[in-house]
């Protein structure tokens, strides 16, 4: 059994690397996809490629629409969405991705500190598992793919 | 032409009332649905009906799952989602609803202050219109239904 | 807000009547559908209408296929499936209905004694609420439709 | 022609091994998937990975939701569901899987003793074939893939 | 409970009238739709409205495409397809309608003499019931809607 | 039988009025929907409601996205799309609507002069009928709904 | 570009071999699937594997349901359905397959003598091409895949 | 990450070659599909394979339906549609393809001169990016696949 996963959310910590390392350590047949995690590039792609904008709104709009090409394909291809919420930013895009995946019937794993439990209750309620560490995410993948605890 | 709309998001301001008033003033054929906006009831419904929980997580979980019955039916029935983001709270559930609606191909109107433009760029990029006042939402409905500006 | 619900499962107790009574008492805008609950008719419909069978298997087969016309339409029309498991019978058809509804993305409420918790864990895991009394089902409907606890 | 099949149901007998052996003997191009069949692991996975629970209900809930990741992907990937009902347990999860597959339009083969015919009539009525031995399942696969009786 | 049915197939006998009469006699909440059963009109509609054709193929083509507007909407709206095969004509369009309905997951009732059993085995295998008289069709509808045998 | 139709395309001639008149004359049970056909309003709606734009591109963009709310709902609700191409303008939006309807499996009637046959061959090939006058469209509706030529 | 095709219909002539030979001659990247074309095996598979039946109806029923496993998967996997109608038999199953494919949005090529034009007008109207020889089918495949006439 | 793209529209300029060259230069994992771009062959395929027609309409019709086999499969397989509008022709088929892709939820990139902005506003409004040069299309692909600006 093999899996494609999409890692949505926070880009300011190393949770993606930890999950990737755990997958490598367990030799799991998991293909990982992520959004563009270079913050500057992801903010600038629209105007850099398609031309400058005077209004910040349109700069963001052009960037977000280009980024959506990668994100939506990744979610649609994924067998599982892992969505990470940090304590610092609003990350509405991560919650948007989770809602998008939920409507497609994709299983979701959320990853966040327990202090966010109340604020994330609707997202967590749509998830198959609520993790507080990347290691737990890896353990779920290992159990799901290799039947080992 | 008539419309069903779902008003998702912020529950601490009177934006829903303003939209409802505008719809009434313009005599628009719009049916409005909302989540349970009684904050206390929406937090307590799970344990109140199905029994207490020791863990806050499970209290929230039971409530969120019951609330999802109303929310998902409302989104699935809606012709249009209006999603309001305030400046104060994280409102991940509002972004989740927007992602859910986007995956179903429902048109979305976002409603938020311009200072949230950058944080909401992915949600705005999936929207048909980005409003900063409830009056603008009503004007779009009036134009869409009655062809008047 | 109004709802269509389908009441699947046990036919040897009065849980359907209790839910119907509760809905009437609360004056809820809920339309109730059920399978044919006349046990004899539901067993005999195939051979009674389409001709006798020597083999019990084909008698059951003809009946079950005719009954499926009503059941599937009811599930597909429903906004919510309430599925009741009693302690006495195997009721695989109730679990089948729950799986069918789950794949269609319909919300599910299960209704069973707590002693069945372990045996029903997969069905419960796909449900929005797990009730042990018909009154709880009615309370969820009342809360969902009328926003009252 | 090749096939992906999912073997749902009873975990206390060797029917999966017999089907796998028959597939190997006939050199059929069939990829087999199963749920986690280690009973202990499948019961404990939730609490083992995500932390203990006081309530048995939540222990089961966490486990069942994690197990559903593997099960649902396997059903969705499968060309055919084989579902086994034994005489001993309630196996509501097997019937749930059958209903889930039926709603997705997946063909189903049931496998059970003839004494269960009446109790399983609704599930059998949704199946393409009703077998009483694993050998019959293999023969159907051999015929379907290799055109040989 | 109410039903929409589509009556596909043979236009040279009075089976549609018999079913309609039976529905009226039983006061069943059934809405009946049929293709255009005026043979001449259904053959001529294309050229009559859109202009003559030299080639018989294009005359038929224009007619069949216009007729398909009514037929497909009727099937898509229907809760149930009743498809009648007579002994005399090839009625490939009836079998086409049955296949179309089957792919949409609509329940099918076939209606034909037993001498056609072998020739219609694939269509019958996709049906919920195989009738040999219009009265049987009515009895199934009466049972399904009113729970009476 | 009743129908919902959407009239897409040319806004500079009176073809919509002719179809509406024909429907009224024949007393057909047809509900007609159209885009906003006030050219000025449809161009200005975005900036009028949501604020001015310096760039013509963004002015058009805001307008087109708001107009899409009405158009897409109308197509999705329609049983039939009638799409009119005039000789004068490019009307890419009409062809876009036709492609959109085709992908949803909606039947399409095209309406255009024969001199456009070659340029419109791909759109015509996806249509159930190709008309050159509004009267022909009405005749098809009359035949489809009332079975009369 | 490569294609998967399903060859449905007549089993008493060598049209499948001619198409296969043409595909080989043109070195086209086409994967061909067919139903079980061994007439005896396809009639007997049900009773041979699952046990004898007294009634011819149930013998046919068991066989047809098993055959449907292969047929439906093949149609669902196919990029194109080629459906052959001979002059001799009723071949309702071929028309059923065509209807099934049409509802899934699969392109269809029909293959039959011109004398069947009127009887097959509804099936032809749903097809992308109507051929009278296997060579024409091969030419369409060659053109579609290799852009050569 | 790899992508399948479909290049729809103008066949009288070298935009496809420029995109293909850019993809090769950047060593992007992109598979390109196009319609048959041999204008003569694409006009003649119907009559060349299936026999002459007296009426130009039917010649075009037969050709367009055969061409649709390739086009629709390519769009359905594609992760992204790039649609090119030139200044010279009406290219309703390109707009039709864009509408078709939009209804399937496929991301779209449009490619056209800025002077076409107003005429193409509805198509552009459904696109993720609006480019004026093939190089911009390649840059979006490079950014999406390789995360580099």
* Per-residue pLDDT reduced to its tens digit, D99-118: 999 999 999 999 999 999 99
Give the tokens for residue E138: 């009515």
Which residues of chain H does E55 touch, with a Cβ-Cβ cutoff of 8 Å? Answer: 58
Q: Best of H58, H103, H104 to disrupt the F interface by mutation (most F CBs within 10 Å)?
A: H103
Helix count and strand count (H, E) for chain A: 6, 5
Tokens linked to G116 = 């069947």
At residue H61, does pLDDT exceed 90?
yes
Give per-10-residue mean pLDDT for chain G (149 aa).
96 96 98 97 98 97 98 98 93 97 98 97 98 98 96
Structure confidence at residue E10 (pLDDT): 95
**Whole-number percent of chain H with pLDDT over 90:** 96
Average pLDDT in the A19-45 region?
Answer: 97
List the single best residue of F51, F52, F58 to mutate versus A (max A Cβ within 10 A). F58
Q: What's the pLDDT band for C119 if we cut at 50, 70, 90?
A: very high
What average pLDDT does the segment C97-117 reach? 97
**CA neighbours within 13 Å on the CB side: how many for H11?**
15
Chain F touches chain B, with at least 3 Cβ pairs below 8 Å, answer yes
The answer to whether A33 touches H1, Cβ cutoff 8 Å, is yes
Report how far residue H45's alpha carbon sits from residue G149's, in angstroms, rounded to the nearest whole number. Answer: 7
Per-chain mean pLDDT for chain H: 97
Among chain A residues, CA nearest to D34: A1
Query: What is the average per-residue pLDDT within F109-130?
Result: 97
- Give the 3-state DSSP-derived string for chain E, with helices as H, strands as E and coil as C: CCEEEEEEECCCCCHHHHHHHHHHHCCCCEEEECCCCCHHHHHHHHHHHHCCCCCHHHHHHHHHHHHHHHHHHHHHHCCEEEEECCCCCCCHHHHHHHHHHHHCCCCEEEECCHHHCCCCHHHHHCCCEEECCHHHHHHHHHHHHHCCC
3-state secondary structure of A36: coil
* Partner residue facing H49 (CB), from G79, G107, G140: G140
- Would you say E64 and G121 are in contact if contact means Cβ atoms under 8 Å apart? yes
The reply to whether ipTM tops 0.90 is: yes
Mean pLDDT of H91-115: 97
Q: What is the DSSP letter of B148?
A: -
Residue C88's pLDDT is 87
Which neighbouring-strand residues pair with A83? A8, A110
Write out pLDDT tens, residues C22-40: 999 999 999 999 999 999 9
**Better-predicted residue by pLDDT, F17 or G12:** F17
Is 90 exceeded by the pLDDT of residue E89? Answer: no
pLDDT of F89 over the 90 cut: no
Summarised one tens digit per residue, pLDDT across range E42-52 is 999 999 999 99
Please, which pLDDT band fits residue A88 given cuts at 50, 70 and 90?
confident
| DSSP structure class, residue D105 | T
Question: Which of B115, B120, B118 minimizes the C-alpha distance to B9?
Answer: B120
Angle at the Cα of B68 (from B66 to B72), degrees rounded to 5?
A: 145
How does pLDDT run across H118-134, given as a tens digit for each residue?
999 999 999 999 999 99
Q: Rounded to a whole number, what is the distance in angstroms from the first to the last CA of chain G?
A: 16
Percentage of chain D with pLDDT > 90? 96
Alpha carbon of B57: minimum distance to chain D alpha carbons (Å): 11
For testing contact with chain D, the best of B52, B57, B58, B61 (most D CBs within 10 A)? B58
Strand partners, G104: none
Q: What is the pLDDT of residue H90?
A: 86
pLDDT on residue A90? 86
Closest CA relative to residue E144, chosen from E10, E5, E20: E5
CB pairs under 8 A between E and H: 4
pLDDT recorded at residue D89: 85
Instruction: State the virtual CA torsion across E54, E60, E62, E65 in degrees, nearest 10.
Output: -170
pLDDT of residue H20: 98
DSSP one-letter code for G26: T
CB E107 within 8 A of CB E81: yes
**Of F36, F46, F69, Cβ closest to residue B80:** F69
The answer to whether the Cβ–Cβ distance between D143 and G49 falls below 8 Å is yes
Q: Which pLDDT belongs to residue E88?
A: 87
Euclidean distance between CA atoms E34 and E45, whole angstroms: 16
Q: Which of residues 48-77 of D touch B (CB under 8 A)?
A: 54-55, 58
Average pLDDT of every residue of chain F: 97
Question: Mean pLDDT, to the nearest integer, of F58-79?
Answer: 98
Q: How many Cα atoms occupy the beta-carbon half-sphere of A133 within 13 Å?
A: 7
The neighbouring-strand residues paired with B110 are: B83, B130
Non-local CB neighbours of B79 within 8 Å, separated by 6+ positions: B3, B4, B5, B106, B107, F73
Any CB–CB contact under 8 A between A106 and chain D?
no
Average per-residue pLDDT for chain D: 97
What rounded mean pLDDT belongs to chain B? 97
Q: Identify the pLDDT of residue C27.
A: 97
The answer to whether the beta carbons of residues B82 and B19 sit under 8 Å apart is yes
pLDDT per residue rounded down to tens, chain B (149 residues)? 899 999 999 999 999 999 999 999 999 999 999 999 999 999 999 999 999 999 999 999 999 999 999 999 999 999 999 999 998 888 999 999 999 999 999 999 999 999 999 999 999 999 999 999 999 999 999 999 999 99
Angle at the Cα of A104 from the Cα atoms of A103 and A108, rounded to 5 degrees: 85
Per residue in D40-74, pLDDT (tens digit) is 999 999 999 999 999 999 999 999 999 999 999 99
List the one residue out of B109, B105, C72, H64 whose CA is nearest residue F104: B105
Q: How many CB pairs under 8 A join E and G?
A: 125
Measured N-to-C along each axis, helices E56-77 and E39-50 cross at an angle, to the nearest 10 degrees, of 110
Q: For residue E148, what are the β-bridge partners? A: none
pLDDT of residue G89: 85
- Token pair for G114: 């011109």
Taking CB atoms and an 8 Å cutoff, what residues of chain H touch G130? 50
Other CB atoms within a 10 A radius of the CB of residue C48 amount to: 18
What average pLDDT score do residues F32-40 get? 97
Pairing of strands E129-131, E108-111: parallel
Closest CA to E83 of G86, H42, E91: E91
Residue H113 DSSP SS3: coil
Say if the Cβ atoms of H144 and A66 lie within 8 Å: yes
Predicted confidence (pLDDT) per residue in D110-142, tens digit: 999 999 999 999 999 999 999 999 999 999 999
The CA distance from E101 to E97, in Å, is: 6
pLDDT tens, residue by residue, C79-90: 999 999 998 888
- Which band of pLDDT confidence, cut at 50, 70 and 90, is reported for residue F52? very high
Q: Name the region of F135 (left: φ>0; alpha: ψ -120 to 50; beta: rest).
A: alpha
**Strand order across the beta sheet in which A129-131 lies:** A30-33, A3-9, A80-84, A108-111, A129-131
How many residues can be counted in chain F?
149
pLDDT at B90: 86
The whole-angstrom distance between residue B13's C-alpha and the CA centroid of its chain comes to 13
Tell me how far apart the terminal alpha carbons of chain A are, to the nearest angstrom: 16
Output the pLDDT for position B108.
98
Can you read off the two tokens belonging to residue G46? 């049900």
Look at residues B107, B79, E140, H81 and name the one whose alpha carbon lies nearest to residue F65.
B107
Taking residues D75-89, what's their average pLDDT?
95
| Secondary structure of residue F7 in the 3-state scheme | strand
Say if residues D75 and D106 touch (Cβ distance below 8 Å).
Answer: yes
* Separation CA A119–CA H90 (nearest Å): 52
What is the rounded distance in angstroms from the CA atom of residue D67 to the CA atom of residue D46?
A: 9
Instruction: Work out the widest C-alpha separation in chain G, in whole angstroms.
Output: 55
Whether residues D123 and C92 touch (CB distance < 8 A) is answered with yes
Q: Which of D36, D44, D49 to mutate to test the interface with A (most CBs of A within 10 A)?
A: D49
Spell out which residues of chain A touch residue F58, defining contact as CB-CB under 8 Å. Answer: 55, 58
Residues 6+ apart with CB under 8 A from H68: F122, F125, F126, G107, G128
Measured CA to CA, the distance from residue B57 to residue A124 in angstroms comes to 10
Instruction: Tell me what pLDDT residue H89 has.
Output: 85
Residue-level pLDDT at G90:
86
Sheet containing E108-111, strands listed edge to edge, beginning at the edge strand earlier in sequence: E30-33, E3-9, E80-84, E108-111, E129-131
What is the Cβ-side half-sphere exposure of residue E95, based on CA atoms within 13 angstroms? 27
Tokens for D14?
Answer: 């060797």
Which residue in D38, D48, D70 is closest to A144 by CB distance?
Answer: D70
Percent of chain B with pLDDT over 90: 96
Rounded CA gap, C114 and C120, in Å? 10
H117 φ/ψ angles, rounded to the nearest 5 degrees? -50, -50
Query: How do beta strands D80-84 and D108-111 pair?
Result: parallel
User: Three-state SS for D14?
Assistant: coil
β-strand partners of F84: F9, F111
Q: In what order do the strands lie in the sheet with D3-9?
A: D30-33, D3-9, D80-84, D108-111, D129-131
């Amino acid at each position: 059994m093999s899996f494609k996963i999409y890692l949505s959310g926070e880009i300011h910590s190393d949770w993606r690397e930890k999950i990737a390392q755990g997958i490598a350590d367990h030799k799991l047949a998991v293909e990982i996809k992520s959004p563009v995690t270079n913050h500057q590039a992801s903010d600038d792609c629209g105007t850099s490629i398609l031309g400058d904008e005077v209004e910040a709104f349109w700069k963001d709009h052009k960037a977000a629409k280009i980024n959506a090409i990668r994100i939506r394909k990744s979610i649609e291809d994924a067998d599982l969405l892992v969505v990470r919420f940090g304590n610092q930013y609003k990350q509405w895009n991560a919650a948007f991705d989770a809602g998008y995946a939920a409507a497609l019937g994709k299983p979701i794993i959320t990853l966040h500190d327990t202090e966010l439990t109340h604020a994330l209750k609707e997202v967590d309620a749509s998830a198959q598992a609520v993790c507080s560490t990347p290691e737990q995410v890896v353990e779920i993948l290992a159990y799901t793919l290799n039947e080992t605890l």
